Amino acid sequence: MPATDIRPLLAVLVGFIACVVILIVGEKNRDIREGITFGAAISKFLILISLFPLVYEGGKYLFTTPELLPGISLSFMADPFSLFFSTLSSMLWIVTTMFSIGYMRGLHEHKQTRYYAAFAACIGATIGIANSANLFTLFVFYEILTVATYPLVIHDEDEESLAAGRKYLAYTLTGGIFILFSLVLTYDIAGTLNFANTGLLSASMASPLLLKLLFATFIIGFGVKAAIMPLHSWLPSVMVAPTPVSALLHCVAVVKAGTFGIIRVVNNVYGIELMGDLGLGLPLVIVASITIIISMLIALTKDHLKARLAYSTINELSYIVLGAGLLTEFGVTGSMVHIANHAFMKIGMFFFAGTVFVATGKEYISEMDGIGKRMPISTLVFSIGAIALTGTPPLVGFISKWYLALGAIQSPHPVFVGVLLASALLNVAVFWPIIYKAFFKEPEVKRRPKVSLWLMIPMVFASFGTIVLGLFPRFPYTPLELAFRAVRLFLGG
């Protein structure tokens, strides 16, 4: 019996309240405004942390608002997987806020109030997605997230960013329609939208063909934000947004909301058993594998650092989808833990891109010769992230690779482990030239730019996570332990 508690909802509301307060405080009191962001981020994080002990012991929190339609209501919960995603997002919001202050003030950006307000709303929506107890609630916040991100994408308000914004909305809103359609169909078939540990659908509810079609529409819907090829092309475009947005939203919150949705659909809507009976794992794995390889090949050709990172994100997101499609204990665990591991690795790399831009104004890899000699610590953070992405021990990427590979071999299709290995090698090809140029070529300008602590601390934090979670992945309350607990529930144990 889940405990009734308002905290899962409270964590969501904090973001939206902060959004309104930030708008009221405005540009004149910018220190207070940023203070509010910090306050909201920290209090959100603490609320979520307070939910940990019970959930960790196998309990669950639930909060349901009055029904809108029979069986449909906005309801919020905290189970291991939701806490996994919400805690991660809110924790990284704290560090990203620090980075935002350094970045936005360093570049004297305009309309910072809008920026911080939209950011708070985005995180509110992300926590809403994470804590939703049914598909309907998830969908509502999923759409809010789409809209709230728009002002951040078009922040520069120039031709390029407005075009990116249009493209972004066209892709994600279309994806939303697919989800809405699937939602209605699911409600029609099952009569409920509440997530169940081992899946709310069962084979007796509808014909296998219908269930397969429904799954396809779900995947197309969530696949847009998860940037599965060929639905990915919005992601490189929105890299025009300020770098903190790319760092938190386009590498953690927004894109992983898509993969979060896919994992929920696979495990809590269909359930691993039904997925296996319908043979739905294999197509998902194939699509993900194609994305993994092709995205890396495209990344090789990109000279714009953030574009290369974007394609690498597409690559890593499909690791998550691949793991989910393996339908084995280790596969799903690896997929889930990769949400957190990728966040730590990649956010540091985006922070590096942002720091270089603030300090030197450079965005292209070909301009970054010798940057490691001018900004050693920042470049080291980038390098640690890149080395981790290739899965080198003892960094976090290795932990993901370990479980995903185990999962692949456990599954009926062990050949897909080859995709993981090929991708690891491609990662070296994509990132090694950058590290090499950064450290071993001579810079044009020798001067060492000053990097403010606002930028430095978040970067070092990301590296710290990359190393510590790689060395001690199974300490209590680490993402891996939560993932194990979540998967145990999904397997019905």
Partner 1 sequence: MVTHSLLPTIAVVLPIAISPFIFLIGRRSAYLRDGLAVGSLTISFVAILLMAPEVLSGKILESIVVSEQAAPLPISFKVSYFGEIVAIISSFVWVLATIYSIEYMSDEHSKERYYSFLVLTGGSMYGIVLAKNLFALYIFFELMSVVSYVLVIHEETEEALVAGKKYLFMCIGFGLLLFLSIILTYIGTGRLDFSSVPIFTEFYKKFMIVSPKTSLTILFFTYIFGFGTKAGLVPVHIWLPDAHPIAPSPASALLSGVMIKAGAYGIIRTIYNVFGPQLVQELGVNIVLSCIGVLTIFLGAAVAISQTEIKRRLAYSSINQIGYVVLGAAFLTKDGLTGAILHIFNHGLMKGVLFLCAGAIIYKTGLREIEDLKGIGKKMPITMICFTIGALSMMGIPPLCGFISKWILVLGALEAGVTILVGFAGIFLLSAIMDAVYYFPIIRSAFFEEPIDGDTTNQDPSIIMLAPLILLASGIIIFGIFPQIPLSFAEPAAEVLLGGF
**Residue 4 CB, nearest distance to partner 1 (Å)?**
33
Cβ closest to partner 1, residue 94 vs residue 468: 468
Smallest gap from residue 403 Cβ to partner 1 (A) = 7
Cα gap 150→171, rounded to integer Å: 12
Residue 437 near residue 365, CB atoms below 8 Å: yes
Which is nearer to partner 1, 109 or 481 (by Cβ)? 481
Give the chain's end-to-end CA distance (angstroms, integer).
Answer: 16
- By C-beta, is 364 or 475 nearer to partner 1? 475
Q: Give the distance, in angstroms, between the CA of residue 139 and the centroid of all CA atoms in the same chain.
A: 17
Contact 125, 139 (CB under 8 A): no
Q: How far is the CB of 412 from partner 1 (least distance, A)?
A: 10
Give the shortest CB-318-to-partner 1 separation in angstroms.
18
What's the token pair of residue 21?
């307060």
**Structure token digits, residue 222:** 């969530």
Q: Specify the residue, 253 or 339, whose C-beta has the smaller distance to partner 1.
A: 339
Q: At closest approach, how far in Å is the CB of 428 from partner 1?
A: 5
Strands 3-4, 61-69: pairing kind: parallel
Q: How far is the CB of 302 from partner 1 (least distance, A)?
A: 20
d(CA 390, CA 87): 26
List interacting residues with partner 1 (CB under 8 A): 387, 390-394, 398-399, 401-403, 405-406, 409-410, 414, 417, 421, 424-425, 428-429, 432, 436, 440, 471-475
**The length of the chain, given as a count of residues:** 493
Q: How far apart are CA 269 and CA 403, in angstroms?
A: 24
Q: How far lies 36's CA from each of 54, 90, 403, in Å? A: 29, 14, 39
Please identify, using beta-carbon distances, which residue of 135 and 387 lies nearer to partner 1. 387
The alpha carbon dihedral of 436, 441, 444, 447 has a sign of positive
